[in-house]
Chain A
Amino acid sequence: MYKFTVRNIVYRFDDLKTLLAKASPYRTGDVLTGVCAVSYEERVAAQIALADVPLKTFLNEVIIPYEQDEITRLIIDNHDAESFNSISNLTVGEFRDWLLSDETDTAILKSIEAGVTPEMTAAVSKLMRNQDLIAVAKKCEVATRFRNTIGLKGHFSTRLQPNHPTDDLKGIAASMIEGLLYGSGDAVIGINPATDSPAVVMNLLKLIDTVRQQFDIPTQSCVLSHITTTLELINKGAPVDLCFQSIGGTEKTNSSFGINLALLDEAYEATLSLKRGTVGNNVMYFETGQGSELSANAHHGVDQQTCEARAYAIARKYKPLLVNSVVGFIGPEYLYDGKQIIRAALEDHFCGKLLGLPMGVDICYTNHAEADQDDMDNLLTLLGVAGCNFIMGIPGSDDIMLNYQSTSFHDALYLRKVLGLRPAPEFEQWLMKQGINSINFTNGNQLHEFIGKVTKLLK
């Protein structure tokens, strides 16, 4: 039982999960679940009460029962008491101040990673302004490696997303080539297939692998099929660089996705065993997004941002190359407008980074959300400042397969230019060899030779 009195009104919060939900900044998904604060005053009262909760409480009072949920078991069983030691005497409020202090630098943040639980990050984020979320995330550095190095400070990568509504190989190749020429694709060349048919996925994998090998591109590929399809294809000898899966923050959510930790273990080991990485062996690519637990009716009365942070516990078990919060895809019943989408994205990026994850964000919106390109420009710029590892790269922002708007190839170039950010070092070398200057984005004669070759390949 937690409480706080404002004037003569005593606000009581029965348990930690209620306190977290009531302290959460307003968003439509929590209203739909019915866990949201009912007034501005109640929300701030919850935030003030939450500030006084010791971090240790999160190890003793779990928000979804240990016996009922394997994610809770993962969080509790994998908690590293030694890493936690230096912050073990802090309350959530003191933790916020500690995170922002001058003394807490990149190395110190790295040292507490394994001692922080997802619920602690969610809790502290609820006490932080957008500015705080950016300032702390900026101090974190999470670098991962496969055929290149992603996430180094001063670098900023993109997933090239050349989707096509019928998985047409030439259509996908055309968008892919265009993206490469715009310096996109150092995080991954990743296709969302329109169908989960193994034969189609196999062809897409072969297409990207052929282009990558022919032009010796230091990047990795992924077709975002269900993990069982990927496993099947690995067994058939498909060129699988990264294993993809969508994950959620409760066991029930993941069952609705047709996965559990045992299946993820199996797929992780299978992908590792292919040993296709050259500079590192981070082989997993996860996608998440606030609201998926509510959408699966598997939220246990936990607010959507705390659910989201719990998904990161799964992600970090598998040392992923990329984790992507697909923040605006879910629709206005979860995140109504630009303000809510921007807030959620900054929270996800912050929580993920604090937990040691290579966070990227799909800066996006659907046509029934109250958002537009201006909101996306704001979020893009904020995430660039916050040190986000990667975003999506889509021709003209318009994904013609998934029917939503994300960031364009141009958007990434804008961010690199205004903030002086560079692609992954190995990829940048390759771009320069093709005659593409990725910062000022000029291109030389070599480019035409390259285009000639790829176009020939396509026709």
Chain B
Amino acid sequence: MKFVLIFNRVYQFVKFVSIIKPDPLVSLKEFTAARIAIGRVGTSIPLKEFQEFKLAHAHARDAVYSVLDIGGLLNSLKVFKLPILHLHSNAISRHKYLTRPDFGRQLDEESTSQLKDYSTSADIAIIIADGLSATAVNENAFNLLELLIPMFLDAKLKLSPLCLVEQGRVAIGDDIAYGLNAKFSIVLIGERPGLSSADSMGAYLTYNPRPGLTDESRNCISNIRPQGLTHKPAADKILYLVNEAFKRKVSGVTLKDNAGLLG
């Protein structure tokens, strides 16, 4: 009796396996990270592959709705012995943030008045914003700054207070750095999560930041995360661009075109 049961279960299993048509091109998987050779059941995607996809999408969705870990960041960033400002954009909720990009680019009133106490001039303002994935900055911002801030201090660059911004978009850095009277801004922000990269952080660099700038005035270093551009090379690239920008007094498209070191 027991044998029959086991036999039946094995039989069911084999039957199940055999209805998944193997993909003849498994050998091509080595050439691309694309989801090729996933087989089929009928004309559909086999369950295992579909659930892998669904899990990746869940990670991306959760990243969009993740929140900046203010407590954790305040705690880790205090080693730099800089004042830390906690700011908020005009987008009062994630829903507003997603539907009104203009709100995410403006500081709210209270934050604007906070800046007034810190408007002594500085070389660089570092701004950490949640963007489309707070997870990305929660996991990558400190690790990057741990390498980057000592480099700046060695280069005798004066830093503004560190800013943490909730519901912020890239351009909010212009208003903040302008308010802090900084010559240069670095916005570390969570990028739109991809299916395999919910933790990807971007660094947007702007020389002479001021309200009203658009993307062509900035340089972007993308995909900063352990499985992408790792923290050390990211910090090196940022330092290189900061030095070049100060030398040529410009950032954005023109700087990028001349920067042979950037890969």
Show the binding face of A for B, using Cβ within 8 Å: 28, 31-32, 162-165, 168, 170-175, 177-178, 181, 332-333, 336, 366-368, 372-373, 394-398, 400, 403, 405, 408, 410, 413-414, 416-417, 441, 447-448, 451, 455, 458
Contacts and interface: CB of A to CB of B under 8 A. Distances in A.
B76 interface: no
Interface in B44-65: 44-45, 49, 53-54, 56-57, 60-61, 63-64
A367 B34 contact: no
A398 B34 contact: yes
Nearest to B61: A367
Nearest to A372: B57
A428 to B, nearest CB: 16
Contact of A162 (B34, B53, B197): B34
Interface of B: 23-25, 27-29, 31-38, 40, 42-45, 49, 53-54, 56-57, 60-61, 63-64, 98-102, 132, 192-197
Q: Is the interface of A mostly helix, strand, loop or mixed?
A: helix
A181 B57 contact: no
B233 to A, nearest CB: 17
B32 A396 contact: no
Contact of A396 (B27, B38, B42, B192): B38
B43 A417 contact: yes
Given A398-B53, A400-B196, A175 B36 contact: yes
A451 B24 contact: yes
B36 A178 contact: yes
B98 A368 contact: yes
Given A162-B34, A372-B57, A441-B43, A177 B99 contact: no
Contacts, number: 124
26 contacts: A168-B31, A173-B31, A174-B25, A333-B98, A333-B99, A336-B99, A367-B64, A367-B192, A367-B194, A373-B54, A395-B36, A396-B34, A396-B35, A396-B49, A397-B53, A398-B35, A398-B195, A400-B32, A403-B197, A405-B195, A410-B40, A410-B45, A413-B40, A413-B43, A441-B40, A458-B28
A369 to B, nearest CB: 8
A372 B53 CA distance: 11
Most buried by A among B31, B64, B192: B31
B262 to A, nearest CB: 13
A178 B31 contact: no
Nearest to A452: B24
A218 to B, nearest CB: 22
B57 A174 contact: no
Contacts of A181: 24-25
A368 B195 CA distance: 11
Contacts of A172: 32
B71 to A, nearest CB: 25
Most buried by A among B28, B45, B100, B192: B28
A364 to B, nearest CB: 13
Contacts of A366: 192
A178 B195 contact: no
B158 to A, nearest CB: 36
A457 to B, nearest CB: 12
Contacts of A165: 33
Contacts of B31: 168, 170-171, 173-174, 458
B98 A336 contact: yes
A455 B33 CA distance: 17
Contacts of A178: 23, 25, 28, 36-37
A164 B98 contact: no
Contacts of A367: 57, 60-61, 63-64, 192-195
B28 A408 contact: no
Contact of A175 (B32, B61, B98, B101): B32
B24 A164 contact: no
A458 B32 CA distance: 13
B104 to A, nearest CB: 10
Most buried by A among B37, B40, B43: B43
B102 to A, nearest CB: 8
A175 B36 CA distance: 6
A228 B37 CA distance: 36
Contacts of A163: 34
Given A174-B25, A175-B32, A396-B36, 18 more contacts: A31-B99, A173-B31, A174-B29, A174-B32, A175-B34, A181-B24, A181-B25, A367-B64, A373-B54, A395-B34, A396-B49, A398-B56, A403-B192, A405-B195, A408-B45, A410-B45, A413-B43, A455-B25
A395 B195 CA distance: 13
Contacts of B40: 410, 413, 441
A121 B35 CA distance: 39
B231 to A, nearest CB: 21
B138 to A, nearest CB: 17
Going nearest first, the 4 A-B pairs with the smallest beta carbon separation are: A396-B35, A413-B43, A171-B32, A367-B60
